[in-house]
Every structure is written in structure tokens, then in C-alpha cells.
Amino acid sequence: MQVVSELRFSADTAPEEVLEKAAARFAPRIAFATGFGMEGCVLLHMISARRLPIDVFTLDTGLLFPETYELWKRLEALYGLTIRAVRPEQTVEHQETAFGPDLWEREPARCCDLRKVRPLRRALAGLDAWVTAVRRDQTPERAGVGLVEEDTRFGLVRINPLAAWSAADVRAYVERHGVPVSPLHARGYPSIGCAPCTTPVSEGEDPRAGRWRGFARTECGLHTKSGTNETKTENMERTTS
Ligand code: SF4
């Protein structure tokens, strides 16, 4: 993809510069999808502080923690941003009627496909680039992400401004700029998703070990190269621990 080679950055390019150049290149056809993790809050601060013309949305599955909904409103008020809600076609109640109760307990891949992946695909249609809060050291699957890369799954350019940052870099930025973050982090949730699928982690556990605990799953399908095989096989991979 030619655009990816146009937007080349050195490995130590600051995230703010990546965001500025991406906005200059792609606005108004660029959006940031935040899940209100600590990294997402950092990027919201960077976008608002520079008044970058980047649309911001979140995938509101209808199953987020109350603390996440509160943080969403707080960040909007503090930064003067509108964080659009992108919602699934079905409410939680309609999904229950169609697939039975607590689909996430039985088929999390299907549930994530319905409530996250399909809505994201709709939200990205017509855009040229999207910004994510992914960091390389979060999971082995994310280890190879670049600052800018082609997203073959959704058919656009993906910008990962924090790809090279560590968790300590993120915490330092949050402290330096007084960025509000979820109170759940202090209660043992380093990674926060939907309430039914997120548990606290113990000391020494992988930061994403609390996501879909009991399943061989650490990603919801938004940041994987291909969701097809994942959706077909993953539901059978419930672990015994
Ligand atoms: S994280 Fe859980 S509740 Fe949320 S969409 Fe995925 S399976 Fe469903």
C-alpha cells in the first residue's frame, strides 16, 4: 500500500508526531477507536491537546463496566470531545432472544463478532485510516505491529502511535499530564473490556490474563490479522483451569 510507505517514521518517533502527520494526511477520513484503557486515555489527551481533526468513537457493546461509562462522560467533558458510540445491530436483550442467555459464556467469539467486530467494520467503512492504542509488548500477537501499517482485514491504514511504548511510558504520561483513567486499574484490572468477560489479574499474571478467563483467547478480533478462523475454532477452546 503506497500510503504506508509515504508515512514512514523512525522507531523513536513521538506518538504526538505520528498522530499529527496521520491527521494531516488522512483527515477527515481518519478515526480513533478507544476502549478507554490507559493507552486510549493517553491518546485522547494527545488528540484533544493538539485539536487534531481525528474522529473518536468507542464500541459500546452494552456490556461495559459502569466505571467505563462514567470515564467516557468525564473525558468528553474534560477534553471537549465527542466520543461517538458505535453499537451492535442487536441490543443485549435481542441477542439473548436470538442466541440464548449469556452468549459470552458459551461462544465468546460469536458474541465479540456480533458486538465488536461487525460494528467496527461498519464504523471503518469509508475511512482511509484508523488509530489504535495497541502496544507491542501487550501480547505476543501484538509484538510485530508497526507505527503505520496496512490493515488488510478492514482494508485501510492502521496507525499505532504507542506501538513502541512500554506500560511504564504510558503510566508516566498519565501522571505527567493528570490524565483521568479507569478506577478499575487500581483494583487489579490492567486490561478492561466488557464486564462479563473481564476479571482482575493476580500479581505476576499476564496483563490480559483477566480477559475471557477460562478461554484460549486474549483478543476480541479487532487487532488480529484475520478473524475468520478465530471465530470458527475458538469457542471450542475453553481451558480447564
Ligand atoms: S468481550 Fe465478552 S461480552 Fe463483550 S462482546 Fe466479547 S464476548 Fe461479548
In the reported structure, the alpha carbon of residue 117 is separated from the centroid of ligand 1 by a whole-number distance in angstroms of 10
- Number of the ligand 1 atom closest to the C-alpha atom of 116: 5
Q: Are 129 and 157 in contact (CB under 8 A)?
A: yes
CATH of the domain at 144: 3.40.50.620
In a domain, 82, yes or no: yes
Given a cut of 50, whether residue 175 has pLDDT beyond it is yes
Structural domain contains residue 138: yes
**pLDDT, tens digit, for every residue of 17-72?**
999 999 999 999 999 999 999 999 999 999 999 999 999 999 999 999 999 999 99
pLDDT, tens only, 205-219: 887 787 777 776 666
In a domain, 123, yes or no: yes
* Pocket mutation for ligand 1, best pick of 61, 68, 99, 113 (most atoms within 8 Å of C-beta): 61
Residue 2 has pLDDT above 90, yes or no: no
Strands ordered across the beta sheet of 148-151 = 83-86, 55-59, 30-33, 129-131, 156-159, 148-151
More confident residue, 16 or 213: 16
pLDDT of residue 226: 47
**CA 181 to mean position of chain CA atoms:** 15
Task: Give residue 125's domain range.
Answer: 2-232
Q: Which of 126, 208, 123, 195 is nearest to 167 (CA)?
A: 208
Does 237 map to a domain?
no
Ligand 1 centroid distance, CA of 62 (Å):
10
The verdict on residue 239 lying in a domain is no
DSSP at 198: B
Atom index in ligand 1 nearest the CA of residue 211 equals: 1
Atom 4 of ligand 1, residue of closest alpha carbon: 194
Model pLDDT, residue 180: 98
Active site residue 112: no
pLDDT in tens, 152-163: 999 999 999 999
Phi/psi of residue 204, nearest 5 degrees = 90, -15
Among 83-92, 118-127, 179-188, 211-220, where is mean pLDDT lowest? 211-220
Residue 240 domain-assigned? no
- Percent of the chain scored above 70 by pLDDT? 88
Query: How far, in Å, from the CA of 107 to the mean position of ligand 1?
Result: 9
Residue ranges of alpha helices (H) inside 81-166 are 92-99, 103-106, 108-112, 118-124
Domain count, the chain: 1
Average pLDDT over residues 127-143: 92
